[in-house]
Amino acid sequence: MSTDQKTQSQQILFTRGVPPAEALPAEDLGECFDSVVRNDTSVVLQYGQQRGYAPLRKQLAEEYGVSDDEVLVGNGSLQLQDLLSKHLVNEEDAVFTEQPSYDRSILTFRRNGARVTGIPLEEDGIDVERLERALEREVPAFLYLVPDFQNPTGATLSLEKRRRVVELAERYGFYILEDIPYRKLRYRGEDLPLLRELDSAGRVITVSSFSKLLSPGMRVGFMIGSKGLIDDLTGLAENTYLAPVLPTQAAVSEYIGRGMLAPNVESLKELYRPRWEAMTSSVKQELPGATMFTSNGGFFVGVMLPEDANTQNLVGRAKEQGLVLTPGESFFADSDDGEPPRGERFVRLPFCAVTTDQIEEGVSRLAGLV
Ligand SMILES: Cc1ncc(COP(=O)(O)O)c(C=O)c1O
């Protein structure tokens, strides 16, 4: 086998946005587990605490400047999105998302009866003019946004647009669900305010997760909203899973309490930054005709291939070259203008769980296909 054939035969996974094995702090988490299971046995090994492990709720309440009863900790953030959709969406209600958006959220909203409409995403976040036009036609149950280092594009919503979107939510009376699992993984630039910090009318619900900062297998996610909303969702949660998984929530709380989270995030950034740099520079070099969303953090870079790119069966042809891609179409909801969505031209490129060599090789294989 020639060297070329060997390289081709090594599969490169540009599919899932998961942390690599070397990013999982097994030793420290193991100690935290051990400690909470031994020291808080009657709470963490028992049914109860339906709103989530009380010390963790308190830590989150302090961090976000809310009261404990405005925090619900559940089994991963996607399940909380599911509960929220069950609660807010009546059959055939609209939910608006960015276009493209996180594929599993689109599916979750649809499964709960929503008609999901995607509003085009620009370099600096959702197209606010298009959003306003869509709002003149109908007001959604909520608008779902991933404002920081969006999945699937990496784009970040600008400060100006954050203000305008919150104003629109207040004016038209809909909720914004801001989903921020990647927010702390910033490789360049300064943090922008959360949408909830710009909101004075209680229109913003925040959801996030420890999946990308610690471990997805822990299944610890949280939601912040008004006490009334959190009460309602807690009732739904209790009817769905009886009680949350307290040992993992308690281990996360212990990990935070020991001051380990911030250093872990710093070491993740050190691990991911060179991969992010490799992905951005490989795309610029190998796919000069494509439009790349500017990503300053998170797990993904997204590209829109040029109009004349060969996108016919791209996923199938890539697989034959040992490159595994997620079909671009899955990140697209229905268009706001009735036109067919152009998902076949979109490629999501996750960079955290691949080495810089794999990134360069993978992007070059992709360039050879389009
Ligand atoms: C934007 C976004 N929201 C939510 C999730 C789900 O996270 P969790 O593991 O907390 O359910 C993901 C996972 O990739 C994600 O990218």
**Atom nearest to 17 CA in ligand 1:** 14
What value does the mean pLDDT take over residues 103-108?
A: 98
Closest CA relative to residue 302, chosen from 108, 121, 137: 121
DSSP of 145-190, one letter per residue? E--SS-TTT-----HHHHHHHHHHHHHHT-EEEEE-TTTT-BSSS-
- Taking the C-alpha atoms of residue 197 and residue 144, their distance in angstroms, rounded to an integer, is 17
pLDDT reported for residue 6? 43
What value does the mean pLDDT take over residues 223-236?
A: 98
What value does the mean pLDDT take over residues 355-359?
A: 96
- Taking the C-alpha atoms of residue 265 and residue 212, their distance in angstroms, rounded to an integer, is 9
Examine the pLDDT at 243 and tell me if it is beyond 80: yes
Helix, coil or strand: residue 93: coil
Residue nearest to atom 13 of ligand 1 (CA): 17
Binding site membership of 181 for ligand 1 (Cβ less than 6 Å)? yes
Q: H or E segment at 227? A: helix 227-241
* DSSP 3-state percent helix, strand, coil across the chain (nearest 5): 45, 15, 35
What value does the mean pLDDT take over residues 65-86?
A: 98
Phi, psi of 194 (to 5 degrees): -65, 155
Tokens standing for residue 21: 């094995």
How far is C-alpha 206 from the geometric centre of its chain's CA atoms?
Answer: 12
pLDDT reported for residue 3? 44
Is the whole model's pTM more than 0.85, yes or no?
yes
pLDDT reported for residue 1? 46
Examine the pLDDT at 86 and tell me if it is beyond 70: yes
Q: How confident is the model at residue 16 (pLDDT cuts 50, 70, 90)?
A: confident
pLDDT in tens, 46-62: 999 999 999 999 999 99
pLDDT reported for residue 8? 56
Pocket test for ligand 1, best of 79, 209, 214 (most atoms within 8 A of CB): 209
Binding site membership of 118 for ligand 1 (Cβ less than 6 Å)? no
Binding site membership of 101 for ligand 1 (Cβ less than 6 Å)? no
What value does the mean pLDDT take over residues 213-236?
A: 98
Binding site membership of 152 for ligand 1 (Cβ less than 6 Å)? no
Half-sphere exposure of 134 (CA within 13 A, CB side): 29
pLDDT reported for residue 330? 95
pLDDT reported for residue 294? 86
- Taking the C-alpha atoms of residue 364 and residue 42, their distance in angstroms, rounded to an integer, is 55
Residue nearest to atom 16 of ligand 1 (CA): 151
What value does the mean pLDDT take over residues 147-155?
A: 98
* Strands 125-126 and 346-350, bridge-based pairing: unpaired
The 8 Å CB, 24+ separation contacts for 166-169 are 166/195, 166/198, 166/199, 166/203, 166/204, 168/128, 168/131, 168/132, 168/135, 169/143, 169/199, 169/201, 169/203, 169/204
What value does the mean pLDDT take over residues 180-205?
A: 97
Residue nearest to atom 5 of ligand 1 (CA): 78
Q: How confident is the model at residue 90 (pLDDT cuts 50, 70, 90)?
A: very high
What does the DSSP 8-state code read for residue 73?
E
What value does the mean pLDDT take over residues 295-318?
A: 95
Q: How confident is the model at residue 5 (pLDDT cuts 50, 70, 90)?
A: low
Strand pairing partners for 40? none
The domains located in the chain, with CATH, are 3-24+262-369 (3.90.1150.10), 26-257 (3.40.640.10)
Q: Using a pLDDT cut of 70, give the percent of the chain over it.
A: 98
- Taking the C-alpha atoms of residue 327 and residue 320, their distance in angstroms, rounded to an integer, is 15
**Do 363 and 287 form a contact (C-beta atoms < 8 A)?**
yes
pLDDT reported for residue 342? 87
What value does the mean pLDDT take over residues 83-102?
A: 96
Closest CA relative to residue 312, chosen from 324, 328, 296: 328
**Atom nearest to 18 CA in ligand 1:** 14
Q: Residue 308 C-alpha to ligand 1 middle, in angstroms?
A: 33
What value does the mean pLDDT take over residues 59-77?
A: 98
Binding site membership of 19 for ligand 1 (Cβ less than 6 Å)? no
Sheet holding 346-350, edge to edge: 291-292, 300-304, 346-350
Closest CA relative to residue 264, chosen from 62, 25, 36: 25
Examine the pLDDT at 202 and tell me if it is beyond 50: yes
**Do 120 and 336 form a contact (C-beta atoms < 8 A)?**
yes
